[in-house]
Amino acid sequence: MKAVLFDRYGPPEVLYVGRRPVPAIGPDEVLVRVRAAGVNGGDLHDRTGKVRLVTGRAFPKGCGIDFAGEVAGVGASVRGVREGRRVWGLMGRRTGSMAEYVAVSPRRIAPAPDNLTPEEAVSLLAGATTALTALRDKAALQPGERLLVRGGSGGVGSVAVQVGRVLGARVVALAGGRNLDFVRGLGAEEALDHRTTALSALGRFDVVLDTVGTEQARVRRLLAPGGRMVAVAPDLDRPLAWLGTVLGSAVHGKGRIRFFSGNPDSALLAEAARLAEHGDIVPVVDTVHPLDGVADAQRALAAGGVRGKHVVRVR
């Protein structure tokens, strides 16, 4: 099968489409024929080696964490999953979804939204599960509360704006100047240019969702009494300083910064699918790239200014 691979850490040029055997599934696994995969910030960190302490030095490595497609094989011990069913899911703690087939646990998939193409579905997947976990489960966002989404036009932020609206919050989003109308169209009451808006002018927030990773100590000062901040992106350019900020927030001042590494199960994936099928959240596709265009997709994501998600059409 075809798969996106890289043999060393480096720039986007290290990515190539190679061949690997179709995965052999165990009795408790499912084989999925992948139609589309999302391009995520973590893919860039994996490829550049910023998280090499986790990813290690064994090559070649695969690319991608999320996918949409259909079931192509079912292990002997798996129940409730049938071949041909359209599904979406994540690789768990592994990478490699930018391939024609993936073998995964049935706990990491759920029926895909019936009203969306694979490309549309995968544009929502990681953002929806992250936003639901961050806003509903970690921050306990309540109707009428004031929510700030930092990075409101990106793959996570653009869905978080929608989830915040669904949960009844008054959503304020920071984004690039050319994307402000786009973010307002997703449900933000206010969308402000992060380059020209002073943080001190924003007022106080009950909940802050940070998808950017930088300057989190300053952003934390925007919390109202009883406010909650959730960070879904680390500052990998200054990892020790970032870690100190997160740990220090638990013992100094107001508002502990909550950070989590998402690993959604099938129940959360199914809930996100229901929101999509009801029209509560809508697809956020920036650009669809071919499989051999992954390097271009990662360059575009790294350049910033994205509207939603860059997606790779696998087959």
Residues with Cβ within 8 Å of 53's Cβ and at least 6 positions away in sequence, in order, are none
Residue 174 in contact with residue 150, Cβ under 8 Å? yes
pLDDT at 187: 96
Cβ neighbours of 150 (radius 10 Å): 28
Cis peptide before 60 (omega within 30 of 0): yes
The Cα–Cα gap between 68 and 88 comes to: 4
The string of DSSP codes covering 9-37 is S-SGGGEEEEE-PPPPP-TT-EEEEEEEE
State residue 215's pLDDT score.
85
What single letter denotes the amino acid at residue 124?
Answer: L
pLDDT of residue 315: 86
The pLDDT score that the predictor gives to residue 39 is: 97
Pairing verdict, β 257-259 and 223-231: parallel
Check residue 76 and report its DSSP letter.
T
Q: How many CA atoms lie within 13 A of 173 on its CB side?
A: 32
**CA 54 to centroid of chain Cα atoms:** 19
CA angle 25–45–56, rounded 5-degree value: 60
Residue 161's pLDDT is: 98
Lookup: tokens for 166: 């669904």
pLDDT 10s per residue in the chain (315 long)?
A: 999 999 999 999 999 999 999 999 999 999 999 999 999 999 999 999 988 988 898 999 999 999 999 999 999 999 999 999 999 999 988 899 999 999 999 999 999 999 999 999 999 999 999 999 999 999 999 999 999 999 999 999 999 999 999 999 999 999 999 999 999 999 999 999 999 999 989 999 999 999 998 888 899 999 999 999 999 976 555 554 444 554 445 444 556 777 676 689 999 999 999 999 999 999 999 999 999 999 999 999 999 999 999 999 998
- Can you give the C-alpha Rg of the chain in angstroms? 19
Give me the pLDDT at residue 263, please: 80
Whole-number Å distance between alpha carbons of 270 and 250 = 33
Q: At 250, give phi and psi (nearest 5°).
A: -75, -20
Per-residue pLDDT, 261: 66
* C-alpha–C-alpha distance, residues 305 and 20, integer Å: 34
For residue 92, the 8-state DSSP code is T
String of DSSP letters for 248-283: HHTTSSS-PEEE------HHHHHHHHHHHHTTSS--
Distance CA 30, CA 104 (A): 5
**Per the confidence metrics, is the pTM higher than 0.85?**
yes
CA-angle at 185, arms to 180 and 190, nearest 5°: 55
